[in-house]
Amino acid sequence: MPKTRRNLLVLALGVALFGPGCAHRPPQRPAPEEALELVPDGRWPRLVDDLDIESLVAACTPSVAYLEELPKQRVLAFGPIRRTAGELARGVRRACAILESTADADARTARLHDEFLLLRSVGRDGRGEVLFTGYYEPILEASRRPVEPFVVPVYGVPDDLIAVDLADFGVEACPRRLVGRVEDRRLMPYPERDAIEYGAALSPDTEVLGWVADPVDLFFLHVQGSGTLVFPDGSRLRAGFAATNGRPYRSIGRLLIDDGLVASDAMSMQAIRTYLAEHPDDLRRVLGFNPSFVFFRPLAAGGGPLGCYGQPVTAGRSIATDRDLFPAPILAWVRATAPAAGGGDQRLSRFVLNQDTGGSIRGPGRVDLFFGQGDSAGDLAGRTKHTGELYFLVPR
């Protein structure tokens, strides 16, 4: 179908489904200007950092690179404060220089106070409580062709997938981005997860980056957004997020809790894996409860996974937040409890950068902390479900 006709179909569908406004936005997500509140000068916390400075410098570099690629006068809002991209880039660079040259927490806090405003997230309760979870980059054994037990495909982007930003057509809608494909000269929603995995909904010509052995591994690869496939000859392919089928994300953990199959206080990635391993007959129902499906693209070897701004993320220093509320990868500070490597919990206080987002990360009360690559990182990420606080530093 000609591109123009496809665009008209998309425009018509967007108006018919969503109308001119965004009335169905979830009520728990406040307006962007209400998501952060200014911390008064005398109420700043002591900005302790529990990680090495080298990792912070490494994390600041891609944020500065992204911000400097934007038009310098583009205005970005963090709560009630508006700054240009150029001001934010200089702010990240300046804050990193202060942190690199000032080891003492009290002196560091004072220097930052002189040059920056501190904004606190209102959290999920309006009083600053933020739920922290974790994510990581899995490493999966794979095959380049379907051979037992490697029969679960890691798909590239299908040729018939169409993604359109309705704002390009002057339509104000929520969601503003539609994903679908043309069937019988009509734009239709793209198939859900169950139809893709069990109903042969994709064209047989769809690219496959590799084949893995476990559908649960694939599901969590989708949740994490990127991973490394390791083939029998030792070669590797890094698979990065490319697109989704446009369907909403639904939590299978919440499904298991609501069905009384896993206790709320015991819920974790490990608990989900254990339940599905012990109840294989329930696998299709549980995984299919989340209709969202992720398609991948090959990434260059080396480096870390890419966040939503197309820049590498750094273990321990990168967080995922709601991009609609916090629209640029600037310096933040978090204080929370997190799982310890040897078991139990530990206090966490550090500078981070909001360099990613996620389908389940919605509202000012959600943060996803990137733990790194491999099984150890996955264990920590899977056990992270703790509360804390989130702050952003914006140049005065």
User: Which domains, from first to last, does the chain contain?
Assistant: 36-136+305-396 (2.40.40.10)
Q: How far apart are CA 252 and CA 256, in angstroms?
A: 6
DSSP bridge partners of 187 = 182
Q: How far apart are CA 212 and CA 200, in angstroms?
A: 18
DSSP bridge partners of 165 = 177
Per-residue pLDDT at 373: 87
Cis status, amide bond into 232, omega within 30 of 0: no
Contact 26, 322 (CB under 8 A): no
Q: How far apart are CA 368 and CA 373, in angstroms?
A: 15
Per-residue pLDDT at 304: 67
pLDDT along the chain (396 residues), means of 10: 37 34 47 93 95 96 96 95 97 97 96 98 93 92 96 97 85 77 91 95 95 96 90 92 92 95 90 96 97 91 78 94 95 93 88 90 93 88 92 97
Per-residue pLDDT at 169: 82
CA atoms within 13 A on the CB side of 51: 21
Per-residue pLDDT at 170: 79
Per-residue pLDDT at 306: 85
Per-residue pLDDT at 301: 64
- Please state at what angle helix 105-115 crosses helix 85-101, rounded to 10 degrees: 160
Model-level pTM? 0.78
Angle at 117 between CA 112 and CA 118, to 5 degrees: 90
Contact 330, 354 (CB under 8 A): yes
Question: What's the per-residue H, E or C state across the chain?
Answer: CCHHHHHHHHHHHHHHHHCCCCCCCCCCCCCHHHCEEECCHHHCCCCCCCCCHHHHHHHHHHHHHHHHHCCCCCEEEECCEEEEHHHHHHHHHHHHHHHHHCCCHHHHHHHHHHHEEEEEECCCCCCCCEEEEEEEECEEECECCCECCECEEEECCCCCCEEEEHHHHCCCCCCCEEEEEEECCEEEECCCHHHHHHCCCCCCCCCEEEEECCHHHHHHHHHHCEEEEECCCCCEEEEEEEEECCCCCCCHHHHHHHCCCCCHHHCCHHHHHHHHHHCHHHHHHHHHCCCCCEEEEEECCCCCCECCCCCECCCCCEEECCCCCCCCCCEEEEEEEEECCCCCEEEEEEEEEEEECCCCCCCCCEEEEEEEECHHHHHHHHCCEEEEEEEEEEEC
Neighbour-count burial of 358, counting CB atoms closer than 10 A to its CB (0-12 exposed, 13-18 middle, 19+ buried): buried
Give first-to-last CA distance, the chain, whole Å.
52
Contact 257, 263 (CB under 8 A): yes
Q: How far apart are CA 223 and CA 311, in angstroms?
A: 19
For the chain, the residue count is: 396
